[in-house]
Each structure stands twice: as C-alpha cells, then as structure tokens.
Structure 1
C-alpha cells in the first residue's frame, strides 16, 4: 500500500511539472497575458516589464541630495544644511577664580543634583571639505543645587547684595537656584568621514535669561515640611556668553560650556562665579 501511495504521488508531481512547462513560460524582460480567453474578445494585453536595477550608490546619492537619512545618525551632509532636534542633558557647577569653590563656602554646589536640560533645533552646514558650522537655537533649564541644604540664598535690594546664610533653626532638604534661558550657539566642527563619523569642534554661545527663582525645602522646628519659592531676577546676569566644545560619533555627542560672563551682575555685591556645564546630546 505504501509503495502505491509513493508511486501515485510521483506520477502526479511529474504530470504537474509537465503542465507547467507547456502553459507557463517566463521571460526575463517581457511578459504577455490574455484576459477573456479569445483573440476577438478585445482583452488581450501585452506589455514589457523592465528589469529592476538596484544601486546602493544611487540611493545613497539621492539621500545626500535631499539631506536626510533613514536612521538615527547625526548626519553631516556633503553639501547644504542638515537639521536636527536635539535633547541636552548635563550637570552644572561653577568656578571661582578659576577653581571650584572650597567645601567651606556656603554656595558650594552638589554637582550630582545640579542638573541641566535643554531642547535645541540644531543645524550642520558644510563650509569646505571636512569643515562644518554647527549652529542652533533652543531653551535650557539649569538647577544650581547647594551642597549644604541648610543654606538659604537671600537677595538684599537695599544693599544690592546676594547673601548665603546657613539656617540652623531648620532641617534642610533642598536649596537651589533655578534659571531658564533662550540660547544660540555657533560651533565650527570638523567631521571626519560620512555618516558614523568622528567629529570635534569648538565655538561660542550666548543666552538670554527668561526666568529665575530660588526654592528652599525644609522641616521647621515643629517637624512640619515647608517650601519657600522666591521668583526674582536674583541679580543674575540677564545675558550670558561663553565658550563651547563638543565631540561625537554617530548619534552620540558630548558638550562642554564655560560661561565667560559671571553668574551675578557686576554691580551686585555677590561672589564672582563662572558657571560650567558638561553633558550629553541625544
């Protein structure tokens, strides 16, 4: 019985292949087909099917001409300008006379809780050869969080001063300065390669302060949780400017900002501090 089944299957397969050989003919460049079954039906179609040709170089050139990529690489084009929407995440600190403030200073920051975040509309414009101009505009938020959580920042308008006072009558939880800026940057950048290329650059940036406030969280002597928030200019410079360095590969970049302008206005009686920020661009 098993032998009969095998023979029947082989015979059916052979007949099927013979049928296909007689009725189906495939050509590499031209195919013909009929609808209606007769020559007089009026439904006889014949068309030429061109060969499909694929060229990776041609596709790559098209992408470059349109200045876009179908992946997440930060693409520096061969010509023209490529645009990105970038997220900046980093940490803040500041320098006093070129050094970090001593641990005894009341305004010393905790760099791990002094964070920086920004949303930028950035662009890369080819200038010549491997030289590009990385430029953009965006908004940033900066937290300057004091290491000593008992410290309260006090603004004295009468004496035009900014003071830092350690409050021993409370248990501090968090004390910080918060600032928001609108920023622009111009960074000449060398990009070595095509897409997943190493790049490095240095340039300048500037910002305008759009808001600032202090926030002080603590427990009072009765153990109740309190929060003081003071919205004010805080004698913080309305404009800032500085030097910027960045380097990256593919869709990953590092940036470093150094404020040449001081944190507080020159006429204010306040510590002479220059903010610095280090972080990652996504």
Structure 2
C-alpha cells in the first residue's frame, strides 16, 4: 500500500509537469503581443536616430527648415509602413490563435494553480496539495462591437452607419488585487491594439482639405466607404470583482473572474495608422478597391473613458474618446464604441 501511494504521488507530479510544459492560449497571445510591442519600440528607436541625423544636417545648414520637415515626414511614413507590414503578419497569427480557441483546439490550463508536495525524511510519507490564485494575474482581452461619432453631443442622425461601423480590440492586461485580505478592489492595466472603423452613409467619403477634413459626396455609387484608425493604447481600470473568497482547511483562497465584475477607468495612447477604403464599379463595370493611407488630420494622440459590466469572462463594454477625432475641424467629433469584451484568464 505504501509503495502504491509513492507511485501515485510521483505520477501526479509527472502529470502536472507535463501539463505545464504545454504552451497555453494566454502564453501564446502574450508572446504575440510582446512581439508587436518590440516591433513598435524598435521602429520608433530607428526613427529617432534618423530624425536626429536630419536635425544635424539642419544645424549645419545643409537643409532648410522646409526640406528637413519634408524629410522627417517621409521617414515617419516609411517607419509607419514598416510597422504596419510587420504587425499585419502578427495579426494573422492572432486570428489563427483565436480561431483555434473558439474551435476548442486549445484547452484552458489554469497556470495560477500550484501543486505542492512535501517529502518527509521517511520518503514520500506525507503529501499536501493546495490551489489558489496569485495576487497579480494576467488576461488576454478581446472586444468587438459597434462604433460611431458623437457630433454636437449626440449620436442621433449620424453620418455613419450604426450597425456596419464597428470596432475591435485585443491585448494583454494584468490584474492586481489591491487589498491583501479583500477581493473586491483590483487595479487592471495593460496594452491593447484598437481598431475603429466608420462606414459613411449616402456614398460619402473623407477628403483632406488643408487643415480640415470634410465628408463629401462621391460622383459614383460606393459599394464600400470605410475609414479605419488603428491605435496602440494603455488601458487603466479600477475593477470591482464580486467573486467571494473561499476558506478551506483554515486557509483563505482568492479567485477572480468567477462572478459579477465592474470596471471604471480610461485609456491613452497614440495612432498607428489611418486608412480609407473605397469600393466601386468603374466605367467599364470593373470592381475597384481603392485604399488610401494618410493622416487625414486625425489626432496622433488619443485618450478617453471606458467602463465594462459583466459576469465571469464576458462584459458589456463602453468607450468614449475625450480627444476629438480630427485636429482642427470646426465641429468636434468624438469616437464612441459599444460592444462585448472577453477577458480570458
């Protein structure tokens, strides 16, 4: 009997180690997010070196102010294109990963659980297993929903389609329990890639007119008119998690994302790119797909307020940009998004 117990304990340890050796969904998502972050940092670092070289030429009188500004603009656009191309490949990896998750090909492994086995001097005579959750945990976040612009403090009578204008967001967050002996308050922080898409009504599209960006009517029927802005954001939330603590064998265990949750906070970050996509038939009846990249006078820096209310991993998610979409338009228009958010532990 004693040998059987020894065998069982060793078998459990080997089984646990085998499970932990497998790469989990969260770890793979975190790895992709880390790669994207590294790409952005590296390209910004290279751009800084290039801009400093231009400034040196300007200081030596080899370039005029206008020539220096134009050269910096070209360098910035080149780096932005490089980021876009590199990130696009990683986005494909993430889409495959999410699809595998949805198809059930990746099983959840709770890496926060620990199994501790104590060996006494008389060889495997005592064992003890305990599971709990670390004070700081991490989650992969994915969100999607509808997107629009608030004009004159209202969304009614919008110039953009309500159900076909959409947003989606994905990223990695960390969740830290604030109080040592209470599970209610948590500080949630991380990094996200946000996509805001606007589809205009009545065959209209955006045109840059000096410092203004106007929504004008096309001379041909547009099958598609989509304006996309992509941002890298740092979201910060105070999360109220109503998951009750558990007491077993005189020990207290804290878990998260097992009950109702409420998050209040905001986000801040910068624009990665802007793109307008137009689809129409030309005079010969051929399908034309026209993609135009540019800044369209969109603010490079963005920040806003966000909140979510949900149960377990699923929440209703609301975001509102405090920064207007366009820099100098006479009428401020602020992006607003409403949808579903998923926090995968």
TM-score (norm 1): 0.68
Say which SS state the counterpart of residue 223 (structure 2) adopts. Answer: strand
What is the aligned partner in structure 2 of residue 155 from structure 1?
208
> 1:59 pairs with 118, 127, 130, which one?
130
Task: Judge conservation of contact 2:213–2:329 (CA < 8 Å) in 1.
Answer: yes
Instruction: Give the structure with the higher percent helix.
Output: 2
After TM superposition, list the pairs within 5 Å mapping 1:227-242 onto structure 2: 227-242=289-304
1:163-193 CA distance string (max 9 Å, x none)? 11112x3121011211110001111011112
> 1:192 pairs with 218, 233, 242, which one?
242
Shift in Å at residue 224 of structure 1? Answer: 2.7
Task: Judge conservation of contact 1:162–1:234 (CA < 8 Å) in 2.
Answer: yes
Query: How many residue pairs align between the two structures?
Result: 210
What is the aligned partner in structure 1 of residue 138 from structure 2?
83
What is the aligned partner in structure 2 of residue 269 from structure 1?
329
Task: Judge conservation of contact 1:30–1:50 (CA < 8 Å) in 2.
Answer: no
What is the aligned partner in structure 2 of residue 138 from structure 1?
192
Say which SS state the counterpart of residue 214 (structure 1) adopts. Answer: strand
Say which SS state the counterpart of residue 213 (structure 2) adopts. Answer: strand
Change (3 A) 1:172 1:115: same
Task: Judge conservation of contact 1:212–1:232 (CA < 8 Å) in 2.
Answer: yes
Shift in Å at residue 99 of structure 1? Answer: 0.6
Which sections of structure 2, spanning at least 5 residues, go unmatched?
Answer: 5-121, 244-254
Tell me how far apart the structure 2 counterparts of residues 102 and 30 of structure 1 sit (CA, whole Å).
77
Tell me how far apart the structure 2 counterparts of residues 81 and 244 of structure 1 sit (CA, whole Å).
22
Shift in Å at residue 222 of structure 1? Answer: 3.9
What is the aligned partner in structure 1 of residue 286 from structure 2?
224
> 1:99 pairs with 149, 154, 171, which one?
154
Change (3 A) 1:91 1:30: closer
Tell me how far apart the structure 1 counterparts of residues 311 and 173 of structure 2 sit (CA, whole Å).
16
Change (3 A) 1:177 1:270: farther
Change (3 A) 1:127 1:49: closer
Task: Judge conservation of contact 1:109–1:145 (CA < 8 Å) in 2.
Answer: yes
> 1:179 pairs with 223, 226, 229, which one?
229
Say which SS state the counterpart of residue 130 (structure 2) adopts. Answer: helix
Say which SS state the counterpart of residue 172 (structure 1) adopts. Answer: coil
Shift in Å at residue 261 of structure 1? Answer: 1.0
1:128-150 CA distance string (max 9 Å, x none)? 221101111021222111122x1
Tell me how far apart the structure 1 counterparts of residues 223 and 152 of structure 2 sit (CA, whole Å).
29
Structure 1 position 127 matched with structure 2 position 187:
no
Change (3 A) 1:236 1:270: farther
> Larger C-alpha radius of gyration, 1 or 2?
1
After TM superposition, list the pairs within 5 Å mapping 1:32-71 onto structure 2: 58-60=129-131, 63-64=132-133, 67=134
Instruction: Give the structure with the higher percent strand.
Output: 1
Tell me how far apart the structure 1 counterparts of residues 3 and 165 of structure 2 sit (CA, whole Å).
69
Say which SS state the counterpart of residue 82 (structure 1) adopts. Answer: strand
Tell me how far apart the structure 2 counterparts of residues 211 and 270 of structure 1 sit (CA, whole Å).
23
Task: Judge conservation of contact 2:221–2:280 (CA < 8 Å) in 1.
Answer: yes
